[in-house]
Structure 1
Amino acid sequence: MKHLQQSHAQVITCGLGDNSFALSRLLAFCSNPFNGSLSYGWKLFQRIEHPTICICNTMIKAFLLNEEPIKTMEIYTHMLRVGMVPDNYTLPYVLKASANMRSCHLGELIHGHCLKLGFLADTFVSNSLIVMYSAFDDMNAARVVFDEVPWHSVVSWTVLISGYAKVGDVDSARLMFDEAPLKDRGIWSAMISGYVQNSCFKEGLHMFRLMQLTGIEPDEAVFTSILCACANLGSLETGIWIHRYLDRVKFPRTVKLGTALIDMYAKCGYLDLAEKVFDEMPQRDTVCWNAMISGWAMHGDGYRALQLFSEMEKAGIRPDDVTFIAIFSACSYSGMAYEGLRLFSRMCNVYNIEPKSEHYGCIIDFLGRTGLIEEAKEIIERMPNSTSPSEEAVVWRALMSAACSHGNIRLAEVAAEKLLKLERHSGAYVLLSNLYSTAGKHENVRQIRKMMKTRGIDKTPGCSSVEINGNGKEFIAGESTHPEMGNVHGILESMNRHLDCLECHLNLVST
């Protein structure tokens, strides 16, 4: 900014104080949220007697980049008031501002301006409209805009596919993908990430293999999505292949990509490889540290997770709410309840992080695992009243699980009664039914099952997956239509026969 002010002085002394181009360049630098100064730019703008549309657009963009959408709209309304006509650069900015303000009505008004001014056929404007309606989760309106545009660019297809994926409609996203006449890397990336975001991990991997057949080189976004899919499917072979490919082509090891590799190895059970990637990373952000801490936590090594948290603090990296969820989980798995409470106090008093339902859920869990169930119930009762029903259900579910683990029927019934009021889910019924069954209260078990049947609540079937030769195989509990089910039963029967023979042999040896 010091050099900018010197340049501004030269502009004035050279007689260019009213030159629109010079002023627009000064404003452009001021709009930079990292190096510029919005307040300086705003003072400069206010002293321009007759700003051009270009200067107004620059100032609108400046407020948008600095996350001040209301000021963006104020300049836009001022332009309309003085008779200036917005162009195809103005409208995308204000459409994005209305999306940031979460004001659908305002966005519709600007849509009307686009129609009135004849800009709907403009690619920049139409794509911005699709993005705006997607931000409001109104994909019907986004599709109407798409259909009204006479010519679709690759970006048009991409933003519509991303919009459908955002609202969870992966079927419509796939239909749009299949209809796209030209598929570049952006479209493939939108479809792959759409599948992964909606937990369709197998479909995401399949789409990645199709993309490879086209010869299009994946980018960071594609690799990150696929590594996420590998992590959730336990598809280690594909994850290792991607890691080797990245090393072979010397792909830049960004923080985002390194974090995805750490998460993949950790969830696949290879913590030594995850830590190797972590140690080799030249830069690490909070998310990266969280991934490594979570890796140790999910594998039950609470002491290593806490040690890593201490190293994170020493490195000057500020932990966030996700960091403490990982740390509390580590305390749960390692039975370190008092250490967890100490860190909870540190989270609230040192880092001023407001506890969420996930934090309370973890605390209830580690207190419950160590038998401090009444203390856990007291913490729930001290939770703020502003907690939503879904968030409150998280902590009551944790308490019920703890009560069932310790056979505390009275407290389990209290938690179950709360849960049944907060959510419609089979989990509470199943936990209570299992507890009654263990305690020999079979009449209560029958009542629970009758209640589930009356209320139309079905138990969600369990699911397991295994990777064979790089291909993931998924099995759902109770299903009979899986193509490999006959082979599976055959192998299980063979194993049972061998076990029976082994048991007979051991009995003979012992006698």
Structure 2
Amino acid sequence: MSSSRCLQLLEKCRNINQLNQAHALAIACGLGSNSFALSRIIAFCSDPFHGSLSYGYKIFQHIENPTICICNTMIKGFLLKGESFEAIRIYKLLLRNSTRRPDNYTLPYALKACTNMGSSNLGESIHGHAAKLGFLSDNFVGNSLIVMYSDFGEMGAARIAFDEIYCHCVVSWTVLISGYAKKGDVYSARSVFDEARLKDRGIWGAMISGYVQNSCFKEGLKLFRLMQLSGIKPDEANFVSVLCACAHLGSLEIGKWIHIYVGKVGMRVSVKLGTALIDMYSKCGCLDLAEQVFDKLPHRDVICWNTMISGYAMNGDGESALRLFDKMEKLGVRPDNVTFVSLFSACSYSGMAKEGLRLLRTMCNVYKIEPTSEHYGCIVDLLSQVKLVEEANTIVRSMPILGSKSEEAIPWRALLGAFCSQGRVDLAEAAADRVVNLERHSGAYVLLSNAYAFAGRHDEVRRVRKMMKKRGVEKTPGCSSVEINAVVHEFIAGENTHSHMDEIFELLGIIKRQLDSLHSYTYNINEVYLQVGQSRNMSKPEWYNSRHLVVG
């Protein structure tokens, strides 16, 4: 058989048995040490689905002087297999070879291995090798350095690596923006975004996604609009990001418009995009539209099913959530731990304690899913809805260690809320102490303060406030939004920043005077200010001129 025929057979191999035969023929044809033949064999062995990395590594070990291409293929193979230590070992062997040196493919692979290993020190060493070899201005190497330093949260080093690149490509801008957004520094990310002279869809998408991931939903929507005006056609990822923003803002009209726009650009509604639409419609309270999207999807993964079940849960339709779960089981879709979190929430909102406990048994006994902190928190909420706080107390005190302190705090925080809602101040105090020891969060203090306020123990309310101040715990202000004529109006507790705040207070004054004339119910508004923790920070409107607000 000719050499060319042997090489063609190597290219046509589809499984490891065929490769073994082709390898034997190559040796018989005198190609046993041919660099091209060996590179094709090792490339096939490095395939994570059809190859055999161990077989390829045995061949590699017997190559007297492997080419840089063969070394890179072997390093890549170990990376794809998740064996980063082995990848670095081959990289070190390459450094000791005086006739070969790493190139602009080797270094990115090595940097990726450092990220996988969580070794910033080793990454810095390879950064030094890149400098000595003259690759800092290379896009492949520079971008890999930006990604690595971003993953380690070292954005200063990432920016230095960015500045060392001779000619920035769109990937360079995108990965740097993504790095800042990942760290929560949207201001620096936007500065980099504004620096970019040419912005492709990836750069726009990175900035929009960064805004949304950091809860800057309005900014994300504004930037999406600017992207449209710039003539950039959105892709699926862009649509998913802005739909997420609409969901959190409750911006139904904009969400509907985006749904229509998806159809206008001729984009197929995939499982991912459909799930985002279901989530948006559910959070905006339009279950009928969410159901329409769900029913039209030709394929659904478990995340899609979970989102629809969660939609029923957040809208208080527990029965529909359970019916959908039954359908999910009949179709053979295996639920995961998120499925049951949504189901427990649905039962809690609908007061279906018996069904929730039955689902808990199903989760543990049928699907062998170990309860997490979120499951315990949902069960506590479920039991508290039907005033079974003693049972909830027993469950939480007997639960196993769930991992980190923040995870363990979730069911205790739920238990604290249950005690407060039932006026069990004695039990609330003990639960609050446990939560405070597990996490530094204002929620426990506020809940305990509210419990004291409802019990009329205002001295204790002030003591908790002083404790918060002494420990440097600040309460995150409440925030609400409402959409009127496709415009989202946002209100933050303690701030009078809305442009129509004077008119709002004037209207509240009118309502107060009308209620005042009814003289049918008296509510202590001072107590409200104590409960929400705004008595010192929130300026009272002009109509607040008496101790009691009369409510009809």
Q: Same-fold call, TM > 0.5?
A: yes
2:432 maps to amino acid: A
Structure 1 partner of 2:69: 54
CA–CA distance in structure 2, aligned partners of residues 32 and 458 of structure 1: 53
1:240 aligns with 2:240: no
1:117-266 aligned at under 5 Å gives the runs 117-266=133-282
1:68-107 aligned at under 5 Å gives the runs 68-83=83-98, 84-107=100-123
1:295 positional shift: 0.7
1:400 aligns with 2:416: yes
RMSD of the alignment, in Å?
2.3
Q: Secondary structure at the match of 1:473?
A: strand
Deviation string 1:8-62 (CA, Å, 9 cap, x unpaired) is 4554454433332233233333333234343443344344443211111112111
1:76 maps to amino acid: Y
2:433 maps to amino acid: E
1:368 aligns with 2:418: no
Moved more, 122-131 or 69-78: 69-78
CA–CA distance in structure 1, aligned partners of residues 61 and 210 of structure 2: 44
Which of 292, 300, 311 aligns to 1:295? It is 311
1:53 maps to amino acid: I
1:284 positional shift: 1.4
2:482 maps to amino acid: V
Moved more, 75-84 or 297-306: 75-84
Structure 1 partner of 2:463: 447
1:153 maps to amino acid: C
Does the C-alpha gap of structure 1 residues 502 and 352 become closer, same or farther in structure 2, counting only changes over 3 Å?
A: same
Does the C-alpha gap of structure 1 residues 36 and 381 become closer, same or farther in structure 2, counting only changes over 3 Å?
A: same
Moved more, 186-195 or 493-502: 493-502
Q: Secondary structure at the match of 1:472?
A: strand
Q: Secondary structure at the match of 1:119?
A: coil
Deviation string 1:82-141 (CA, Å, 9 cap, x unpaired) is 333111111101101110111111111111111121111111001100100111111111
1:481 aligns with 2:497: yes
1:425-440 aligned at under 5 Å gives the runs 425-440=441-456
1:29 maps to amino acid: F
Q: Secondary structure at the match of 2:345?
A: helix
CA–CA distance in structure 2, aligned partners of residues 466 and 223 of structure 1: 22
1:66 aligns with 2:81: yes
Structure 2 partner of 1:267: 283
CA–CA distance in structure 2, aligned partners of residues 426 and 446 of structure 1: 15
1:8-19 aligned at under 5 Å gives the runs 8-19=23-34
**Is this contact kept in 1: 2:402–2:408, CA < 8 A?**
no
Does the C-alpha gap of structure 1 residues 457 and 149 become closer, same or farther in structure 2, counting only changes over 3 Å?
A: same
Q: Secondary structure at the match of 2:482?
A: strand
**Is this contact kept in 1: 2:373–2:402, CA < 8 A?**
no
Q: Secondary structure at the match of 2:490?
A: strand
CA–CA distance in structure 1, aligned partners of residues 20 and 232 of structure 2: 46
TM-score normalised per structure 2: 0.85
1:75 positional shift: 1.7
1:199 maps to amino acid: S
Structure 2 partner of 1:33: 48
Does the C-alpha gap of structure 1 residues 7 and 318 become closer, same or farther in structure 2, counting only changes over 3 Å?
A: farther
Structure 1 partner of 2:347: 331
**Is this contact kept in 1: 2:142–2:164, CA < 8 A?**
no
1:324 positional shift: 2.0
1:60 maps to amino acid: I
1:364 positional shift: 1.6
1:195 positional shift: 0.5
Structure 1 partner of 2:12: none
Q: Which 5+ residue runs of structure 2 have no aligned equivalent?
A: 1-14, 521-552
CA–CA distance in structure 2, aligned partners of residues 276 and 201 of structure 1: 25
Q: Secondary structure at the match of 2:102?
A: coil
Deviation string 1:335-364 (CA, Å, 9 cap, x unpaired) is 233433333343344434343221221122
Deviation string 1:404-445 (CA, Å, 9 cap, x unpaired) is 112212211111122233333332222222222222333333
CA–CA distance in structure 1, aligned partners of residues 46 and 311 of structure 2: 41
1:207 positional shift: 0.7
Does the C-alpha gap of structure 1 residues 42 and 342 become closer, same or farther in structure 2, counting only changes over 3 Å?
A: farther
1:267 positional shift: 0.8
1:356 aligns with 2:375: no
CA–CA distance in structure 2, aligned partners of residues 321 and 80 of structure 1: 46
Does the C-alpha gap of structure 1 residues 252 and 398 become closer, same or farther in structure 2, counting only changes over 3 Å?
A: same
CA–CA distance in structure 1, aligned partners of residues 392 and 519 of structure 2: 45
Deviation string 1:373-414 (CA, Å, 9 cap, x unpaired) is 222222222233463222222111100111111221221111
Structure 2 partner of 1:509: none
**Is this contact kept in 1: 2:88–2:110, CA < 8 A?**
yes
CA–CA distance in structure 1, aligned partners of residues 337 and 106 of structure 2: 38
1:41 maps to amino acid: G
CA–CA distance in structure 1, aligned partners of residues 333 and 415 of structure 2: 33
Which of 324, 331, 338 aligns to 1:315? It is 331
Give aligned pairs, total.
504
Does the C-alpha gap of structure 1 residues 70 and 315 become closer, same or farther in structure 2, counting only changes over 3 Å?
A: farther
CA–CA distance in structure 2, aligned partners of residues 351 and 453 of structure 1: 46
1:466 positional shift: 1.2
1:478 positional shift: 3.0
